[in-house]
Amino acid sequence: MSDIKEHCGLFGVYGCEDAAERVYYGLYSLQHRGEESAGIASTNGKDIVFYKGMGLVSEVIKPHMFKILKNPIAIGHVRYSTIGSSNIGNAQPLVVDYYKGKVAVAHNGQLTNAKRLREEFEANGSIFHTTSDTEVIVHLMAKPLNMMQKNLSLVLQQLRGAFSLLFLTPEEMVGVRDPHGFRPLSIGRLNDGYVMASETCALDQVGAEYIRDINPGEAVYVGKDGIRSEYYCPQKQIKPAFCVFELVYFSRPDSKIYGESVHLFRKRLGARLAKESPVEADVVISVPEGGNSAAIGYSHTSGIPFDRGFIRNHYVGRTFTLPEQERRHRIVELKLNALKETVDGKRVIVIDDSIVRGTTSRSRFGLLRKAGAKEIHVRISCPPHRYPCYYGIDFQQKGELLAANRSLEEIRQYLNVESLCYLSVEGMMSCATQPRQYFCNACFTNNYPTPIEEETKKLTERKVDGEVEKLLKL
């Protein structure tokens, strides 16, 4: 198997004549969750048709394809890889034909026992066609004992790690979250049908009314007889561990996930950051788009005026979700330009949502220096990333994390700024309205909510790219 990867966006529609077109617009709203590939699968109740390809939603799905995909039930997926290579074979939804008929599967997350399960299947003669951990799920579905079941419970009980899933069969659409609920998945109502989405902003896009989140350990089946719910694991195994980095970085500010308004959560992060790390300055600016909400909160609490310090080129995608480190580094200066009128001769506080690898941050702050900033004070609205994520976010090699083996002062010198402060773990967790124990913050604390198999750790270990190593060397 290649590198383990998977942080993606899911969207599904049941009971609308133009379901595939609705999925298309829903995926548009989730494009920030993955720019490598996109796909849509739909059914007329008898067969499943699909189309997927490499690139953005608008590049993959063209208007003439809606004639082929036009059916009352459809699911879609946008992907950036965390397990599996970036190629068309790993694009989703994954559509297979097995004993019970056709099924399409779309996955957001990462299975921590995928390698072991795959090796067991291969030892018994199974053939895999992709390097994605998602394919393990359909092999489990095809096992004789599992095929005898009317639901997915036996299959889901064998999965470990992070998985929010959408299944599509000719008869129904199914939404699933793992017992910890690492990744979000919501249900909405659209006329007489239903919608499932990774973020509520996608529900808004198609005019759906938010109903609720699918709960950890829950599978929701939508079919001709309506909607039904079941919990596929014992209640004692359901232990919420919502990914806090979804709120800090990944999700759109206009979404509501885990019961939290993303925008308001980030404003609270900024306000807390201003209290923890005050500094005398003339202006507060943000690194768009992720730092915007936190910068507003910092400005309001500190009393220092907020202004635009960077202008973003919207025709360049997110650098963090791109798979190649070299490409991330080269794109950064195309993505942003410093606004000289705001920063020239000023003491500038720069609010960013995170510093993971550090290469793009160093380039951004260099732009401010070129534009005449007198002082640059960096404030990060989350704690330092010191540990890998094994639940579906693409920082799985500790050697790539800037803060893993470096002091705060070493990082400050590397970034070439006057001061640097991160938000504390306690400060970050205090900004959530739900209990602290409901969140996973393992990438900051090393407190993983599930056991990580040694084979999974080994699978994600690789030598740091030569250019990254050079850039991170202090």
Catalytic residues: 8
Position 295, amino acid: A
Query: Would you tell me how many other CB atoms lie within 10 Å of the CB of residue 108?
Result: 29
Given a contact cutoff of 8 angstroms between Cβ atoms, the answer to whether 338 and 371 are in contact is: yes
Whether the ω angle into residue 72 lies within 30 degrees of 0, i.e. cis, is: no
DSSP state of 64: G
Task: Please list, in sequence order, all residues whose beta carbon lies within 8 angstroms of the beta carbon of residue 30, skipping any fewer than 6 positions away.
Answer: 9, 10, 11, 78, 197, 198, 199, 201, 202
Q: Give CA 155 to chain center in angstroms.
A: 24
Given a contact cutoff of 8 angstroms between Cβ atoms, the answer to whether 461 and 394 are in contact is: no
Separation in Å, CA 389 to CA 133, 342, 456: 16, 37, 11
Tell me the C-alpha distance between 457 and 460, whole Å.
5
Tell me the C-alpha distance between 238 and 48, whole Å.
33
Q: Whose CA is closest to 335, among 353, 352, 310, 358?
A: 310
DSSP state of 373: B
φ and ψ at residue 332, rounded to 5 degrees: -55, -40
Whether the ω angle into residue 172 lies within 30 degrees of 0, i.e. cis, is: no
For 111, left (φ over 0), alpha (ψ -120 to 50), or beta?
A: beta
φ and ψ at residue 190, rounded to 5 degrees: -130, 105
